[in-house]
Amino acid sequence: MDNSYRFNNRSKSQTKQIQHHYELIQHIFIEMEHVLVAFSGGVDSALLLKVGTDALGAKCTGVLGVSPSLAGDEKNQAIQFAQKLNANLEILFTREMENPLYLQNDHRRCFYCKQELYSEIWRLAEEKNIHFVVDGTNADDVTDYRPGLDAAKALKVRSPLLEAGLGKDDIRNLAQYLNIPVWDKPAQPCLASRVMYGQPIEAAVLEKIYYAEQFIKKRGYKIVRVRSIGSYASVEVGKDEVDRLLQEEESHIIIKTLYDLGFQKVHIDPDGYRQGKLNARTATG
């Protein structure tokens, strides 16, 4: 079923529940009084920035962490969203690429990344005499393997969506209700998440992944992941788009382009994209 149909056709009781969720999150922000939001441009943090700005005005500020692991188009879209919202936005340049523990890319990589991000946001908070930092963690996130949650807990980052009990469908419903343009945006984690655990993180590899994904997206695919496995690339698209990708002419064009970018072998995953696929392999050994 088309998502727009599923989220547009709501009963009165569902609409009432959405309004209740909005009030719950607003109340959390109002209690905190002055807040920095870890903002990435995805639907979770976009919703937080919208509701926080509604509740607190200039006392809510989004903070966008920028590094080689953030895709350029994601950075631009995040900035544009904050501008349209007329929300405060600070840009921080994070230095996880200087941390050997991050670069070695073991299963705790996300912890070191988030540790750097939240530490930098807290430094900004201290400069501005702000006592609360929040992120977009939601109720569905705790069911996946996410070391970044450990960093949030260690650094006392609050998660209003989780506190209010909202899962992903609740968030998309509320985001659409509030006319947030990214309400149906697919999950878009950092570029480093495409690199197989154990393969060192390198800026050149992240750049190669970015250009490969951009090329495939421009061919009309909505969900795209290019996984780096040594010198090989594994291409994943949405399950409903796999058949098109597997067509001989289409796959030839994409494989040739990825060869030109420097990948020595290209595999098209016939199973398509599934969130947490890499994490599931890690968790099971």
Number of other CB atoms surrounding residue 92 within 10 Å: 17
Q: Mean pLDDT across the chain, nearest whole number?
A: 92
- Render pLDDT for 172-190 as a digit per residue (tens, 0 to 9): 999 999 999 999 888 888 9
**What pLDDT is recorded for position 277?**
57
Residue 285 pLDDT exceeds 50: no
- Render pLDDT for 29-52 as a digit per residue (tens, 0 to 9): 999 999 999 999 999 999 999 999
Please tell me the distance from the alpha carbon of residue 238 to that of residue 240, in angstroms, as a whole number: 5
> 192, 69 in Cβ contact below 8 A?
yes
- Render pLDDT for 229-262 as a digit per residue (tens, 0 to 9): 998 999 999 999 999 999 999 999 999 999 999 9
The sheet that has 265-268: what strands, in order across it? 224-229, 232-237, 265-268
**What pLDDT is recorded for position 145?**
80
Residue 142 pLDDT exceeds 90: no
Q: 210 vs 184, 248, 284, CA distance in Å?
A: 21, 24, 28
- Render pLDDT for 188-205 as a digit per residue (tens, 0 to 9): 889 999 999 999 999 999
Radius of gyration of the chain (CA): 19
188 SS3 class: coil
250 SS3 class: helix
- Render pLDDT for 148-158 as a digit per residue (tens, 0 to 9): 999 999 999 99
Q: What is the DSSP pairing of strand 224-229 with strand 132-134?
A: unpaired
Q: Which segment of 5-9, 11-15, 126-130 scores lowest on mean pLDDT?
A: 5-9
**What pLDDT is recorded for position 126?**
97
Domains contained in the chain, CATH given: 3-177 (3.40.50.620), 191-283 (3.30.70)
Number of other CB atoms surrounding residue 218 within 10 Å: 9
Q: Which segment of 18-27, 95-104, 106-115, 274-283 scores lowest on mean pLDDT?
A: 274-283
Residue 67 pLDDT exceeds 60: yes
pLDDT class of 9 with cuts at 50, 70, 90: low
Higher pLDDT pick, 201 / 9: 201
Residue 4 pLDDT exceeds 50: no
Q: Residues 46, 51, 52, CA angle at the centre, nearest 5°? A: 95
Q: Residue 24, class by beta-carbon neighbours within 10 Å (0-12 exposed, 13-18 middle, 19+ buried)?
A: middle
Residues 6+ apart with CB under 8 A from 98: none
